[in-house]
Structure 1
């Protein structure tokens, strides 16, 4: 690739208006002027504001910033209290129209007021609500950055409708007053720098949180920690890109303390450190997805091992059919349940078995006979194995069955094959030994006999001892147990083991900082709050950093000739292109700009409408 450097200053200025007279600038001054936030320059250009939103609706949002908006902030319907929020310059005018002859309340103090119909003189016949609490918040330290008026009124549908109608009917000379569009309060908070885009997404998670862990996850994301981190990473990339482009613009006219090779190597080292941080950040984000979307648990085992019974005992209702007939469960039965504050998707599946003569198969009774599996059950078995490989936690349910030599652990060979597939896929395994009520009581004090523990270790070497639980769904259903009256069937012990496993697989990873010390654990706990949208853009950013390192690191390319050109005036055998490498850094920074909603990315505005309307 051959790139010609522009020799005409006039030509260079015409295509790069923000880089006029670059040859006469010092290196530090070039970096400063190169990375002045472009948003400041764009904000002074009304034509940019018009072009920034492609659709008419987005143009209205940008050009209608001086209007006053209002909406019902609480859920619609009958309630004790309803809150109507007003934001914009006409808040004072709206208050005076609803509460004539009363001064505006002291900022941030609740005041009891009577609301009147603004179309008629105040009287007992024009009262809208006789006992409303009014709060006034002057800008800029408000939720939207504008003047905010809150009306806490009685929540009867008729009162809410009357007050909303009074606000809409009142004409205001100084500003337009209209009902807010979906997400417009949040949009104004973003445009006035009261909230960052990651905080807004965390706000959506807060409203949809059902479990304690989801609530904690949303609270972590509500701070500005992630926003500051992404902006810091973006600034690092911008300065690294500036150093590379300085080679193109100044290497002929300026003296550098470092050689070209040393400067490129220094930038590459910075990018490697950033790549490592983002990599850990993405891995922790995947753990956060377990908390946000739910941990998928698969119950894997042979027919009649007790999978459906275990599911019913955990969820506390008869969610799956329980029968002594083998093959009762054909399809996957998914049930959402809150286990100790963790949202889980518990899946009961078809029992895994194979066709054969039936000796020792099924119930383990030793009965003989030809076993024929129908097409529907075969499909259920296929789906069961597939679901196990898609799950985050696989609970292998094995059972104690009677035999001629006494109670023994029964495991189908096909179940072992499925377990081995899960081990190869890196799944987290838990072993539940059901029907332990068939064991001798004296032997159950261990709670499993040592001989049986040895057998379990041989059959399931990938399952650690602390994740093996002896249970009895029969005792749990009856509510009595010879060993424990407070925990029949050891179901609570099994659930505590599940919760402990969840804590292990969802705990954040850590890494050393640049000085060899460990980052504070809160630094990585914030990573758990990363949304899927943020994570996907971070992955794209990481891909561009990988491309940059491949471009600038000859050791990663065995065919590279190790030659570097600072101008893009490359030899034919050169493999390192500074211009292309700088572009990879620009693309990586743009991915971070899409996350924060700030920066030079051209399609940031396309992201905003999708996020706010949620």
Structure 2
């Protein structure tokens, strides 16, 4: 279909950005005392720094480690007796510039002395200064070593606290997302070039396709991109659960054991436990790592309609209801209680079960199973509860009392069934966040990228509507169609930082402010 072998620009679109020629240095390993500290130097003055620190030693072979004694510049004072020195020539380095790494002993005084010595080095090619936060990564971006999607993934890698956050960040750092978005952008640019050729030369040249036919052919390409954008937006929603945490609301009637269960799962006394109804008046929240997933647990006020409910407790119930509506997972807790005639029954709240059914994932849990002496009676109670509450899934049974007692005795592998409940929770987390094997790279899609993809999707849908309208009307507004493609391609350029995206500098400021010095 396309007649032009258009090669779209792959520059960063940063012609307006000033990027100086300074040589920068910083401690790249963690602050504080350690066995080894890594100091990184990047820029055209790397060789000058080496010659100042090691004036009589030969320059090391590129990418080979060499042991050197480091001296204070213009002095015979030894700063480090046995530093490991590595030199990486540009452009195949992390920043795209010459890199010099000094691996020194990690004592605080030693690191401080080496950094001070670097600042005293003289260079005829550039100024030598301490790096700003994120400046090494910024230079990697400017020198085409990373695209903006990879930079965001690197930021996520540095801030990852759980295993699932780490896995998502690793997927984003592969560069596959950037290549995908750049591929879409290239196809849109080619399609736009074809349409604009029709606009500019239709009076002078003969084209095999009419405007309507051309727009219809381009629409087929756009439809494929729209389908892929939908998958990326879906993946972004799942990835955000990994980054920001899965919200869990714990609901149930008063004295069902919500606070006890939360304390057992969290591993500390986050909520006050009492036999008095309405003890928990406000939402009590705690964050924790469950099987590699970041979670935010919310213990809520007990739901009840009987008895006197004060204004404070009523407000607590309202907040609990709101927390349940916002949650990703709702745990509806019931409990085995003794009736006035001495028999046992399962007490539950119908509204909490209704809220659980509305949630993306839910669990129904029955506490105080230890109140029933035999398994047959418990099974009968569960069957009655399941029928009365119209439950589709089998409720889980636990005993917070047994679990608390076992913390002292430590005689059972799963006291009270709490470990089984946590395993079931982890399975629901996997269901919320899992992607097919061939879509694992989409775990790297960030919220910023999702917003730009949504904007791109809107432009492409406008294009499809224009193309469809032209087919119905028998005429095409090819100028407007080309503009929709230009806007869509610009959205993709803003994701990767390529092309002529005008807000690259602003985006860089937001991303790099999260980086530490030395990265």
TM bracket (short chain):
over 0.9
Aligned equivalent of 1:464 = 393
Using the TM superposition, give the Cα deviation of residue 176 of structure 1 relative to its aligned residue in structure 2, in angstroms.
1.5
Q: Cα gap change, 1:28/1:322 in structure 2, threshold over 3 Å: closer, same or farther?
A: closer
2:456 aligns with one of 525, 538, 541: 541
3-state secondary structure, aligned to 2:302: coil
Using the TM superposition, give the Cα deviation of residue 28 of structure 1 relative to its aligned residue in structure 2, in angstroms.
5.6
Using the TM superposition, give the Cα deviation of residue 142 of structure 1 relative to its aligned residue in structure 2, in angstroms.
1.0
**Contact kept? 1:286, 1:528, Cα under 8 Å:** no
Aligned equivalent of 1:599 = 499
Separation of aligned partners in 1, 2:293 and 2:459: 35
- Is 1:135 aligned to residue 86 of structure 2? yes
**Contact kept? 2:356, 2:363, Cα under 8 Å:** no
1:488 aligns with one of 415, 423, 436: 415
Separation of aligned partners in 1, 2:383 and 2:456: 49
Separation of aligned partners in 2, 1:428 and 1:193: 42
Superposed CA offset, 1:535-560 (max 9, x none) = 11111111222222222223xxxxx8
Higher relative contact order, structure no. (Cα contacts within 8 Å, ≥ 6 residues apart) = 2
Aligned equivalent of 1:573 = none
Using the TM superposition, give the Cα deviation of residue 102 of structure 1 relative to its aligned residue in structure 2, in angstroms.
0.6
1:384 aligns with one of 301, 320, 342: 320
3-state secondary structure, aligned to 1:479: helix
Gap runs ≥5 in structure 1: 1-26, 43-47, 54-58, 357-370, 509-520, 555-559, 567-576
Q: Cα gap change, 1:150/1:460 in structure 2, threshold over 3 Å: closer, same or farther?
A: farther
Q: Which has the larger radius of gyration?
A: 1
Separation of aligned partners in 2, 1:83 and 1:593: 35
Aligned equivalent of 1:363 = none
Aligned equivalent of 2:488 = 588
| More moved, 152-161 vs 95-104 | 152-161
Superposed CA offset, 1:573-611 (max 9, x none) = xxxx32222212211111111110001222223212222
Using the TM superposition, give the Cα deviation of residue 458 of structure 1 relative to its aligned residue in structure 2, in angstroms.
4.2
| More moved, 167-176 vs 281-290 | 167-176
**Contact kept? 2:189, 2:486, Cα under 8 Å:** yes
Separation of aligned partners in 2, 1:226 and 1:432: 41
Using the TM superposition, give the Cα deviation of residue 164 of structure 1 relative to its aligned residue in structure 2, in angstroms.
1.2
Separation of aligned partners in 1, 2:10 and 2:371: 74
Using the TM superposition, give the Cα deviation of residue 450 of structure 1 relative to its aligned residue in structure 2, in angstroms.
4.6
**Contact kept? 1:132, 1:152, Cα under 8 Å:** yes
Q: Any residues of structure 2 matched to 1:393-404 within 5 Å, and which?
A: 393-403=329-339, 404=341
Gap runs ≥5 in structure 2: 515-519
Separation of aligned partners in 1, 2:25 and 2:453: 36
Q: How many residues align?
A: 512
Superposed CA offset, 1:522-546 (max 9, x none) = 4411111211111111111112222
**Contact kept? 1:117, 1:166, Cα under 8 Å:** yes
Superposed CA offset, 1:94-150 (max 9, x none) = 111111211112222222211111121x2xxx1111121111111121111111111
Superposed CA offset, 1:505-528 (max 9, x none) = 1112xxxxxxxxxxxx44411111
Q: Cα gap change, 1:453/1:254 in structure 2, threshold over 3 Å: closer, same or farther?
A: farther
**Contact kept? 1:297, 1:346, Cα under 8 Å:** yes
Using the TM superposition, give the Cα deviation of residue 219 of structure 1 relative to its aligned residue in structure 2, in angstroms.
1.1
1:439 aligns with one of 363, 368, 372: 372
Using the TM superposition, give the Cα deviation of residue 292 of structure 1 relative to its aligned residue in structure 2, in angstroms.
1.2
Using the TM superposition, give the Cα deviation of residue 207 of structure 1 relative to its aligned residue in structure 2, in angstroms.
1.2
1:90 aligns with one of 41, 45, 48: 45
2:23 aligns with one of 59, 68, 89: 68
3-state secondary structure, aligned to 1:134: strand
**Contact kept? 1:330, 1:349, Cα under 8 Å:** yes
Aligned equivalent of 2:257 = 306
| TM-score using structure 2 length | 0.93
2:444 aligns with one of 518, 529, 535: 529
- Is 1:81 aligned to residue 40 of structure 2? no
Q: Any residues of structure 2 matched to 1:335-484 within 5 Å, and which?
A: 335-354=286-305, 356=306, 371-403=307-339, 404=341, 406-412=343-349, 416-424=350-358, 426-443=359-376, 448-450=378-380, 452-461=382-391, 463-465=392-394, 468-479=395-406
Using the TM superposition, give the Cα deviation of residue 612 of structure 1 relative to its aligned residue in structure 2, in angstroms.
2.5
Aligned equivalent of 1:512 = none
Separation of aligned partners in 1, 2:478 and 2:2: 20
**Contact kept? 2:211, 2:478, Cα under 8 Å:** no
Aligned equivalent of 2:517 = none
